[in-house]
Amino acid sequence: MKKVTVIISAKGGSGGSFLTAGLGIALAGRKKSVLVIDCVSGMRSIDFMLGVSDRLVFDVGDALAQNCHTENAVYQSDLADGLYVMPAPQENTGVSPDVFRDMLETLNYDYILLDCHAGDLAYGLSSHFQTVINAEATPLSVRCGNRVLLECKKNRCRDIRLVINRFSEKEFFGNDFFDDLDAVIDQVGARLLGIVPEDSELSLAFQKSQPVKNKSKAIFALDRIAARLDGMDIPLF
Ligand SMILES: Nc1ncnc2c1ncn2[C@@H]1O[C@H](COP(=O)(O)OP(=O)(O)OP(=O)(O)O)[C@@H](O)[C@H]1O
Ligand SMILES: [Mg+2]
């Protein structure tokens, strides 16, 4: 049975696409078929991060408008077996969550991950699917994370989790914005699914559309989050 997860970046640049791409690779590493759909019309990035950008013909907009067969807008990533990408349109086009959901029904993968910005599409989808809010442990990102949470709740979303991304212990305790991580989790208001450390090597790999050679702390963290999404009873740390 396919499982759909909506990943909403609380604030621009907080690592929502990084998390989505990283989780896609981690879930595929668990021998699952995974489709990552880029829902950021006009500002796509997943195709580049997962190394399919040089062969794109159709995108999710074409699939929704029935300009092509849905599967023709799906590209296999070379970064992992079983990992597929549906790119966002280059033009910013509004999409109805209902139309989008109907398309999801027709797709056959173990996991579908949706890289979303906060907005109507994300909130419309969050009422039907598990939702992960991606935020950094900074005051502004936490405030945006809480705004996203309230909007998701307004849309009656019941399964909302938090991933704290780009985490650096040194910066967190050095900046002294929060007493501890519990304060971050409380202020966003969602249950914690995992923490992904700052990892410049993985960031660089995504910017080069390349796989990483060594397993870093961030990759281990993404593997643990993927295992939890995949139903394993794995402690947070
Ligand atoms: N855990 C991390 N460690 C190091 N760099 C990271 C991490 N997460 C994200 N980044 C980097 O931060 C930048 C912004 O990340 P990303 O594009 O994923 O954010 P976003 O929330 O999707 O932003 P946007 O609002 O543009 O969609 C990128 O250069 C990315 O590689
Ligand atoms: Mg993004």
Predicted pLDDT at 143: 98
- Is the predicted pLDDT of residue 201 greater than 90, yes or no? yes
Beta bridge partners of 112: 4, 35
Residue ID of nearest Cα to ligand 1 atom 23: 13
Q: Which of 41-45, 119-123, 203-207, 210-214 has the lowest mean pLDDT?
A: 210-214
User: What's the whole-number mean pLDDT along residues 215-237?
Assistant: 92
Phi, psi torsion values for 177, nearest 5 degrees: -75, -35
Domains observed in the chain: 3-229 (3.40.50.300)
CB 74 within 8 A of CB 86: yes
Answer for the pair 191, 211: CB distance below 8 angstroms, yes or no: no
- The number of the ligand nearest the C-alpha atom of 9 reads 1
Residue located via tokens 């700052």:
198
Instruction: Quickly tell me which residue has 């079983």 as its tokens.
Output: 82
> From residue 77, how far is each of 36, 84, 86, 103 by CA, in Å?
10, 5, 10, 21
Q: Does the pLDDT at position 1 exceed 70?
A: no
pLDDT in tens, 83-137: 999 999 998 888 899 999 999 999 999 999 999 999 999 999 999 999 999 999 9
Residue nearest to atom 5 of ligand 1 (CA): 203
pLDDT at 8 over 70: yes
Whole-number Å distance between alpha carbons of 120 and 220:
33
Q: Is 228 exposed, middle or buried (0-12, 13-18, 19+ CB in 10 A)?
A: middle
Please report the pLDDT score of residue 92 as a whole number: 85
Distance of CA 223 to the CA centre of its chain: 14
Bridge-based pairing state of the strands 75-76 and 130-135? unpaired
What local confidence, expressed as pLDDT, does residue 93 receive? 83
Tens digits of per-residue pLDDT, 175-188?
999 999 999 999 99
pTM of the predicted model as reported, rounded to 2 decimal places: 0.97
Residues with CB under 6 A from ligand 1: 9, 12-18, 40, 45, 165-166, 196, 198-200, 203, 206, 218
Distance 68 CA to ligand 1 centre (A): 31
Q: Where are the beta strands (DSSP E) in the chain?
A: 3-9, 34-38, 75-76, 83-86, 111-117, 130-135, 160-167, 191-197
Span 13-71, pLDDT tens digits: 999 999 999 999 999 999 999 999 999 999 999 999 999 999 999 999 999 999 999 99
